[in-house]
Amino acid sequence: MQLQGKSLLSLKELSNQEIYGLLDRAARVKREKKEGRRNQRLAGYTLAMIFEKLSTRTRSAFESAFGEEGGHPVFLGSNDIHLGKKESIEDTARVFGGMFDILAFRGFAQETAEKLALYSKIPVINALTDDYHPTQVLADLQTMQEEFGKLEGLKLCFVGDGTDNVARSLMIACGKLGMDCSIAAPASFQPDSTVMQEVTPLFGSHANLTVTHDLAKACDGAHVIYTDVWVSMGQEDHAAQKELVLKPYQVNDAVMALSGRKESIFLHCLPAVKEKEVTAAVFEGPQSRVWPEAENRKHTIKAVILALLGLS
Ligand code: CP
Ligand code: NVA
């Protein structure tokens, strides 16, 4: 696996083997952490974290992973720097490229992440944009691997807003790894033709992608039932309309039962709005794996940082 010097902008840039390589590395750093082994692999390294949107898990995962390895993360919120306001993204990127070793970006436009990578010439990690959330999905894959011991051949069903950034990244991952993926969403919140053209070829003939309004069909046989908030960051003006249309797609006990599998699990990238997209009963119930999933954000992010910096 040779990811040194590359950026992680969407997950599309990674091969199947590179994803598995990152998951192996994530399992290793998780083991090290559990065994209390402390390393200083990032001593002398600096990370710039440009965050235009709020974050609990992603910010904490980056800062704690980078800091505990001896590195210095620098958090730069929208109100701290000139990015895109008084100074162009290209100019900020060139300045940061000369000062930092690696950069994480969370924000609105995917184009900003791409410009930062192009002009900084250092590895850039997409920490969530309107379009993608690749580091989230790596943690989801680690959680599924821990649960089922494999990924290929599993079926994941995403329920709710099919236009969601996490849903799009999950489709990419499933296609690349030979997992069946179904999206259960009302017609007005199904992935558009641009997204379908992007993800469909990844499935080839080895796995199926299904987009349907039919919850029973989508959930049938699913090992994983996944949902995300109905109102993503930046969509607050459309909250009432989205909540009304997505209401029938709440993940509740009846929806979990549609999988027909006793061993199926529930995942959610978090933060969750309980009694909206998921009931408290499912969220807190025996099938929920949301806490290991949240913890795995840190291990997978550490694995990505080490790989992009060419460190062991
Ligand atoms: N899942 C996730 O990205 O969480 P935060 O928004 O809290 O970072
Ligand atoms: N779709 C959500 C994910 C949050 C982690 C958002 O973009 O707000």
Index of the ligand 1 atom closest to the CA of residue 54:
6
CB < 8 Å & 24+ apart, contacts of 281-290: 281/252, 281/253, 282/251, 282/252, 282/253, 282/255, 282/256, 285/253, 285/256, 287/256, 289/143, 289/147, 289/265, 290/266
pLDDT in tens, 118-162: 999 999 999 999 999 999 999 999 999 999 999 999 999 999 999
Pocket of ligand 2 (CB under 6 A): 128, 164-166, 228-229, 232-233, 269
Cα–Cα distance between 43 and 21 in angstroms, integer?
23
What pLDDT score was predicted for residue 2?
86
What DSSP character marks residue 36? T
Q: Please state, in angstroms and rounded to a whole number, the distance separating the CA atoms of residues 170 and 137.
A: 6
pLDDT score of 138:
99
Residue 1: per-residue pLDDT: 56
Within the chain, which residues score under 50 in pLDDT?
Answer: none
* Catalytic one of 25, 57, 59, 106: 106
Query: What was the pLDDT predicted at 305?
Result: 98
Ligand nearest to the CA of 277: 2
Predicted confidence at residue 53, as pLDDT, reads 98
pLDDT at 298: 98
Give me ligand 1 centre to Cα 55, in Å: 5
Mutation pick for ligand 2 pocket among 55, 62, 229, 270 (CB with most ligand atoms within 8 Å): 229
Question: How far apart are the CA of 140 and the centre of ligand 2, in A?
Answer: 14
Q: Catalytic annotation on 106?
A: yes
If one counts every other C-beta atom within 10 angstroms of the C-beta of residue 273, the result is 12
Tell me the per-residue pLDDT of 64-98, one tens digit each, with 9 for 90 and over. Answer: 999 999 999 999 999 999 998 899 999 999 999 99
pTM score:
0.98
Tokens of 210: 């299904």
Ligand 1: nearest atom to the Cα of 61: 8
User: Is 136 labeled as catalytic in the residue annotation?
Assistant: yes
Q: Which residue has a Cα nearest atom 3 of ligand 2?
A: 232
Nearest residue CA, atom 7 of ligand 1? 56
pLDDT given at position 296 = 98
